[in-house]
Amino acid sequence: MINVKGLTKRFGNTVAVRDVTFSVPAGQVLGFLGPNGAGKSTTMRILTGYITADDGEGSIAGFDIFSQSLEVRKRIGYLPESAPLYLDMDVPDFLKFVVTVRKVPKDRHREAINRMIDLCGLKNVMHKKIGELSKGYRQRVGLAQTMIHDPDILVLDEPTSGLDPNQIVEIRDLIKEIGKQKTVILSTHILQEVTATCDRIVIINEGRLVADGTPQDLTAQSSGDTLYWVTIKARPDDIRSQLSLIPGVLDVRLHAESPDRSRFGLKFRSQQQVEEQIFNAVTQKGWVLTELYRETASLEDVFARLTTN
Amino acid sequence: MRDIIAIMKKEFRSYFDSPIAYIFTSVFLVLSGWLFYKNFFLANYASLRILFDLMPWLFLFFVPAVTMRLWSEEKKLGTMELLMTLPLKDSDVVLGKFLASFLFLSITTLLTFPLVISTFALGNPDFGPIIGGYLGAILMGGAYLSIGMFASSLTENQIISFILGVVLCFTLLIIGENFVLSTMPLSIVPLLQYLSLGAHFDSIGRGVIDTRDLIYYLSVISFFLFLNTRSLASRSWR
């Protein structure tokens, strides 16, 4: 549905996007991840025809994003960063304007507007000026604007920024619901958001694409050391000497101590599975094991590793 | 065409969604009425000539105030990105915005008609120059609008956009004045005279509608609307 190849964009001497290549099949929800200023918004602006690129090519729904930008824009719903809206307009007037220029047939205007009012929960603010609305409601009006013409593709630049936790959950659920039928690209720097809503992740840093895969792929290939947490009812010194005997252990560190039990962190190289060895080592001594927990590399780790130098 | 009309409607309404339109129109009418009657009775001659002579100078400040927000506000609010990613041609958006401000300016100008009525009540003015004067004023206003709108497309600051609009219009207005022409080399005097916004207005105001004047105003309008479209394209490298 979306194919981008070698996209490059310079602003003066700074390169905002360099040689970015990716594609999104129909029906996928793609999370665009990266620190602030990584080039997420610039890439989205290029896709939606707001600016042109210096190099590279791209197509959306079979249309060239540069030479057939109008056709591309007809098939996209775009929510720019921080949902800019006409503050002097009231909500129905604004939506009416959008359906008109989006060429929704005239007899379906009312239906399209009402559908968005229901979907985005705008009933209570129908007679207010957009300028009077809270950030959360503005974001919803922005989302309504992106979906009102029922496009196949949605491009959402930080759709949940500035919302309170309840609203974030609502918008995420909304995106998940929409994502069942549509192709979605959404950018964010909130990692839980991606795990909660996306089928696939693309991480971009300093304009470069540094990772591309499902959330599971990315955490698996991060392959740092594995950390186990164990809590055992015994004296710390005894525990340390016993656990150090487990083959492959890199580090045994006391983490917390109480009169009758101690918590240790055990580090192993790469993705070793050593639950059994730990369990055996503990039961050999007749100790009671009260905690055994394997900490897997999280998306946060992957993100931190890929986006810091 | 439908796109142009949709943009025009939205822009025209936005004048009335905020108090701007009412303030502009009333200030314009009060000011033009005051300046007209002040000289009207002194001249002791039933003609609207005084009103039309005022127009280039009233428009100089009024028109950039009408156009200053057209692009600057879109840039400031970020709605530019929303508007320009809708399936609309840049040129259609430019035309729609221009037509909205043109309609607004025409209505405001025509609202000075009580001055016409009072002139007819007090004497027997010639009808031709009045029609010509209004037509000329509206055409000249259109030229000012296209210049002011272009100025607005260059900055996100409405004050800068206003001042830039005034300066550009002022320059194009005075290059045809005698005191400017007298300082210029003779060879470029006809050119400056031709380019001046004021000279063409004078002849229309006398009731003579010359196609050359019409063509002049339409060319100025198209030229600045074209520049406007080009300056929108520059969003890509800024």
Share of chain B above pLDDT 90, in %: 54
d(CA A35, CA A40): 9
Residue A293 contacts B where some CB pair is shorter than 8 Å: no
pLDDT value at position B238? 62
Strands of the sheet containing A2-11, edge to edge, are A14-24, A2-11, A55-60, A63-64
Reading the block at residue B97, the tokens are: 């915005």
pLDDT confidence of residue A238: 85
Question: Among the listed ranges A249-258, B18-27, B60-69, B151-160, which one has the minimum average pLDDT value?
Answer: A249-258
% residues pLDDT > 90 (chain A): 36
**pLDDT band for position B78 (50/70/90)?**
very high
Our CA-based measurement puts residue B92 at a distance from the nearest CA of chain A, in whole angstroms, of 11
Q: For residues A256 and A157, which has the higher predicted lDDT (pLDDT)? A: A157
For A78, the closest of B78, B79, B85 (CB atoms) is B85
Q: How much is the mean pLDDT over chain A?
A: 87
Of B81, B86, B236, the CB nearest to A84: B81
The per-residue pLDDT for B213 is 86
Q: Count Cβ neighbours within 10 Å for each residue of A235-250 and write b for 16 or more, e otherwise.
A: eeeebeebbeebeebe
Please list every residue in chain A whose beta carbon sits closer than 8 Å to the beta carbon of residue B81.
45, 50, 80, 84
Predicted pLDDT at A30: 92
- pLDDT over threshold 80, residue B204: no
User: Is the pLDDT at B21 greater than 70, yes or no?
Assistant: yes
**Whole-number Cα distances in Å, A82 to A129, A137, B80, B126:** 18, 12, 13, 58
Q: What is the pLDDT of residues B134-155, one digit of tens each?
A: 988 999 999 999 999 999 999 9
Is the predicted pLDDT of residue B1 greater than 80, yes or no? yes
**Does A56 touch chain B if contact means CB atoms closer than 8 Å?**
no
Chain B: which residues have CB within 8 Å of chain A?
2-3, 6-7, 9-10, 13-14, 17-18, 77-82, 84-89, 235-238
B236 and A51 in contact by Cβ < 8 A? yes
Question: Which residue is closest to A41 within chain B, CA to CA?
Answer: B81
Model confidence at A223: pLDDT above 60: no
> What average pLDDT does chain B have?
89
Q: Quick check: B191 pLDDT over 60?
A: yes
N residues, chain B: 238
Which residues of chain A from 198 to 237 reach within 8 Å of chain B, CB to CB? none
Residue with tokens 């309404």: B13
Distance (Å) from the alpha carbon of A50 to chain B's nearest alpha carbon: 6
Which has more confidence, B148 or A11? B148
pLDDT at position A82 is: 85
Instruction: Read off φ and ψ for residue B27, nearest 5 degrees.
Output: -60, -45
Q: Do B81 and A45 touch (CB under 8 A)?
A: yes
- The pTM of this model reads 0.85
Average pLDDT of A6-25? 90
If you average pLDDT over residues A138-142, what whole number do you get? 91
pLDDT digit string, tens, across residues A47-73: 999 999 999 999 999 999 999 999 999
Q: What pLDDT sits at residue A296?
A: 67
